[in-house]
Structure 1
Amino acid sequence: SEEGFGATRAWLGGGWVSSLGTLTIIFDQSCKICMGVLISKTCACFYLSNCSCHQDLDMRFGFDLCSEEMTFLRKRKRYVASALKNVFHLQQDLEDCEVPVVAIITTGGGLKSMTGLYGSLMGLKKLNLLDCVTYISGLSGTTWTMANLYRDAYWSQKDLESHIGEAQKQATKCKIGCFSMDRMKYYNKQLCQRKEEGYRTSFIDLWGLMIEYLLNDGKDPHKLSEQQEALCDGQNPLPIYVSVNVRNSYSTNDFKEWVEFTPYEVGLPKYGAFVRTEHFGSEFFMGRLLKKLPESRICYLQGMWSSIFSFTSFSPPLDEDPVLPTRPHDLRTRMYTPPGPLSSALRGALTDRFSVAQHHNFLKGYQLHNNYMENEHFCRWKDTVLDSCPNQLMENSDHLGMIDAGFFINTSSPPLLRPQREVDVIIYLNKAYKYYSEQKIPFPKISLTDEDKKNLKECYIFQDSDLPGCPIVIFLPLVNDTFQEYKAPGVKRCCSEMEEGQLDLSSRFSPYCMFSVRYTDENYRRLLNLSEYNILNNSQMIKQALQIAMERRQNMC
């Protein structure tokens, strides 16, 4: 009530102007924005909690897929239905409702994961199964593969050898030029330009420029939104790149939020908040685009998606906090004891974010916490220490802090487990089922025997037909098993070829360690051949999973 406070109110054009002491409040007539301006030139902004009008904002709010992705899915079904008909020799065309959604989910690991993904895709291509895939998600090193492939608008419809040959050239070249004086001048010039454009630069931007040199012969002008051309007819799977948003003074275990990048949108699925890909990094306030910044070149995003310098994200716990009992929908609670000066200093050092990519927070000023606890989509990803007090979440932060998702869980699967994408089959190049079980996300239990844990096989199939919405998982770990004795499925190696089957993938002396930035031609080809072989050698299990998915879909139509 304004009575008794010397308040005045007047109608002014499109809205009401109320004056309350030194505070002037302007209410937009359309009930979309409510702005307060203090006489002291300090701005205070408010949001009308009963406003549900989002159509005129420069962001998209909602948990459904964007219209462009829906259009893509309709077009992609034609490729998938045709491929399945050919692979399984079907007598009739599949109806749209009978076509399963197949996704490739990758894991990170620098050149190792980049090379391994090339091999896996080459194997699927030879089996005529690549056209059965609707989504490919990536993080860390696999984003290098994806960004390279999607420069070619029809890459999956062509022979992959040219792309693989170019990747081999870059993986095996000398990298010492990365630190030359000319290159340092180039880095400085590019970072200064980026800062002038309005970006907040960090060490990760420098790392992105170094990746540009490691993976290309020159400057790469490619941008993520330009990959829409590779999706215009549904001719390739839709790429999804994954990162994690973190916050200063919190370890990654305490605060992390999934962020997905597609050629169409960038957003946080937890909030159902998305911006156009070309607008990511621009300044927003209350859902409005205030300052449009030039879209980042892909190398800066690759620096963020694949930052090997984000280890500080995993600060060890400094307090022994007992877990208290919780109700089914409550966040796990901890008893907290304020740290002393030494503990505070140590925690500050361990959670320092010098190696985090900083981007303007597009949720700034737009309060999203109303009815959070009743929203099933928010609860699906509710796993941070601030989720129990959502008014402290992202709308008040000036910047998003983005890191390589591999330093939380080495998987790119979260975007594909959104129920709106209705994924039926996951070709999984790693596993992270424990996290999804805790989040109550439908995912089959990955049960391995003690013998399997010691010596993983090349392929497993996991499913849970009693759990609604649970995908079938084809688990393909990168292991060197029968490849040691077979150079192709059913073709044994002769004595002179046995050495080619020997790959050290995991020891401390492995040439494929995460920090390796240069392979020999021999090591590159061995890893490529192993990844391809593991797909080809398990083609029947992959086809079995696809057959089950088709039958499930047919029963649902």
Structure 2
Amino acid sequence: MVVTKYKEVKLKRSINEHRLTGQRNKHNKDPFPIYTVIDKQCKQNREGDPCFEISPHEAGYSLIGAFVETSSFGSQFYNGRKIKDQPEIDMLYLQGNTLCHRRVYSYFCDISLHLLFVQFVFSSTDPNSPPVGKCSQVLMDLVDMNLSVLNGIDPFDLHESIRTNLNELTGGKDQHIFQVEKLNLADKEAAQLHMRKYTLDICALLSVSFSFWPFDICFSICRCAVLWIWGRKYDFLQNMTDKTVPRALLESETRDYIDAGVLQNSPYFSVLREERDIDLIISLDFSDGDPFMTVREAAETCRKRKIPFPEVNIPDKDVKKPKDFYVFKGKNTPTVIHIPLFNVVNCGDDIDSWRYKYMTFSGPYNAEKISKLMEVAGRNISNNRAKLLKHIRAAIGQKHNKQHCD
């Protein structure tokens, strides 16, 4: 089983309206697709099972084992009975939702382009015309603040710029709602929640005191981007009485599903379900920062939940200069092969520059960047082809022997 996270590297030129259930019988040779998201409320409240998976057959919570047929995911259920049928989601929606944080980044970039266009077309020297320049600057600073927080950069200077321009736009009114301390960027979740409220407050103030249709579009996009309601679906477990399911999942009408990378950048837990009886996991990791964070966190979570997983020990020197192939084994556990995207074999001494060039939050890649990335990633497979085949054959042999003994 290969574990990696779907990553968008180019703009789609057509709308994919196919349904995931249509792929049920198309995987004799192709990999079996499992899309993963996380339950936002479970993560924030630290209760229940945040790991949610969607395959051609079923959709549901990986760790507690609560599922519904994929064709019914999104329909409304009450006590296990479908009361409102909804069409099955298409691939465009599914892939978009699993990339939500990159989508948020893209939306903010789109706002910036829209604002530049508005500023160019509608700016005027007429003193009675709308103050397009200052309002544009506030919104562009607001966009940059959100992007800074997503990238872990202190946005305080942008906040000061917003305050100055708002003071001129509103005559000093309602400034008290923006008297905020510097963000604690170490707590990413709290910082992003703060920016969501901050963004909504700014948009609310501007929409009341400054009505101009091009900016109304920007206000709407900002609200949608920070609230992210596209991942909201009916809770198919509502009002059921199963004691093995956390109460929160039984009481809510809807759940919000967001990018799985917010919790775990590699979807280990969807393949570690007991029913899948996995013998070998090949982890193609492209996390920003520590290239071993995902496998370490997976091992720790498995230890707490008593899920079979090998012990993970990484030499300290390998964190900054990882090799291109790691194997973790244990007794009665799957074998885990871990391959960091950028490593000393395919990048030499330029690992940091490669990481910077392909950081998590960045604009769309052009053809040249895509080609270079594919070349570097491809070397991880071609350079280790013999070792991969060796471990795959060993896993097949162990499976055969186990079945023969049983």
Question: Given the two structures, how large is their TM-score scaled by the length of structure 1?
Answer: 0.46
1:333-382 CA-to-partner distances (Å, cap 9, x unmatched) read xxxxxxxxxxxxx899559882252101111121211xx3xxxxx7xxxx
Q: 1:404 is aligned with what amino acid?
A: D
The answer to whether residue 275 in structure 2 is matched with residue 420 in structure 1 is yes
- Amino acid paired to 1:220: N
Letter of the 1:263 partner, please give it. Answer: P
Q: 1:349 to 1:406 in 2, by over 3 A?
A: closer
Which residue number corresponds to residue 353 of structure 2?
504
Distance 2:267 2:315 in 1: 25
Deviation at 1:422, TM superposition (A): 0.8
Match of 1:247 in 2: 41
1:15 corresponds to: none
> Which of 350, 355, 367 is the matching residue for 2:241?
367
C-alpha deviations, 1:473-514, integer Å up to 9, x for none? 1111101423357xxxxxxxxxxxx9xx9883223xx2x222
Instruction: Give the AA of the match of 1:481.
Output: V
Call closer, same or farther: CA 1:347–1:460 in 2, change over 3 Å.
closer
- 2:258 is paired with a residue of what secondary structure? strand
Question: C-alpha deviations, 1:156-192, integer Å up to 9, x for none?
Answer: xxxxxxxxxxx7xxx2xxxxxxxxxxxxxxxxxxxxx
| Number of the residue aligned with 1:222 | 18
Q: 1:266 to 1:279 in 2, by over 3 A?
A: same
Q: Secondary structure at the match of 1:289?
A: strand
Q: Does 1:299 align with 2:92?
A: yes
Structure 1 position 542, deviation (Å): 1.1
> Residue 251 of structure 2: which of 392, 396, 402 is its match?
396
Residue from 386, 392, 400 that aligns with 1:540: 386
| 3-state secondary structure, aligned to 1:429 | strand
Of residues 437, 462, 478, the one that matches 2:341 is: 478
8 A Cα contact 2:49 2:63, kept in partner: no
Instruction: Report what 2:69 is aligned to.
Output: 276
Quote the Cα distance in structure 2 between the aligned partners of 1:405 and 1:228: 23
Q: Distance in 2 between matches of 1:285 and 1:552?
A: 44
Instruction: Check conservation: 2:74, 2:86, Cα contact below 8 A.
Output: yes
Match of 1:338 in 2: none
C-alpha deviations, 1:286-330, integer Å up to 9, x for none? 11111111222222222321111499xx9xxxxxxxxxxxxxxxx
Change (3 A) 1:306 1:256: farther
SS of 1:359's partner is strand
The letter for the 2-side match of 1:355 is W
Partner Cα separation in structure 2 for residue 502 and residue 347 of structure 1: 28
The one-letter amino acid of 1:475's match is H
Q: What number of residue pairs does the alignment pair up?
A: 280
Q: Secondary structure at the match of 1:393?
A: helix
Cα distance, 1:278 vs structure 2: 1.6
Distance 1:227 1:553 in 2: 27
**Which 5+ residue runs of structure 1 have no aligned equivalent?**
1-102, 108-137, 145-166, 172-213, 315-345, 373-377, 379-389, 486-497
Query: Does residue 104 in structure 1 map to residue 2 in structure 2?
Result: yes
Are the counterparts in 2 of residues 461 and 541 from structure 1 also a CA contact under 8 Å?
A: no
Residue 321 of structure 2 contacts residue 351 of structure 2 at CA under 8 Å; is this kept in 1? Answer: no
1: CA distance, partners of 2:270 / 2:309: 13
Native 8 Å contact 1:253 1:408 kept in 2: no
Higher helix share: 2
Structure 1 residue aligned with 2:59: 266
1:517 aligns with 2:380: no
In structure 1, the residue matched to 2:309 is: 443
Q: Quick check: 1:252–1:408 contact (8 Å CA) kept in 2? A: no
Task: Identify if the C-alpha distance between structure 1 residues 463 and 550 changes in structure 2 by more than 3 Å, giving closer, same or farther.
Answer: same
Separation in structure 2 between the aligned mates of residue 226 and residue 515 of structure 1, nearest angstrom: 32
Q: Given the superposition, is the C-alpha separation of residues 506 and 555 from structure 1 closer, same or farther in structure 2, using an over 3 Å criterion?
A: same
- Residue correspondence of structure 1 range 483-498 to structure 2 within 5 A: 483-484=346-347
SS in 2 for 1:403: strand
Match of 2:324 among 449, 458, 467: 458
Cα deviations by residue, 1:196-238 (Å, 9 ceiling, x for unpaired): xxxxxxxxxxxxxxxxxx32x233322222222423xx23221
Q: Which runs of 5+ in 2 are unaligned?
A: 106-145, 151-189, 198-225, 286-294
Relative distance call for 1:398 and 1:549 in structure 2 (3 A) is: same
Q: TM-score if structure 2 supplies the norm length?
A: 0.62
Aligned-partner Cα distance in 1 for 2:364–2:325 = 29
Q: Distance in 2 between matches of 1:503 and 1:226?
A: 42
Structure 1: distance between partners of 2:268 and 2:22: 23
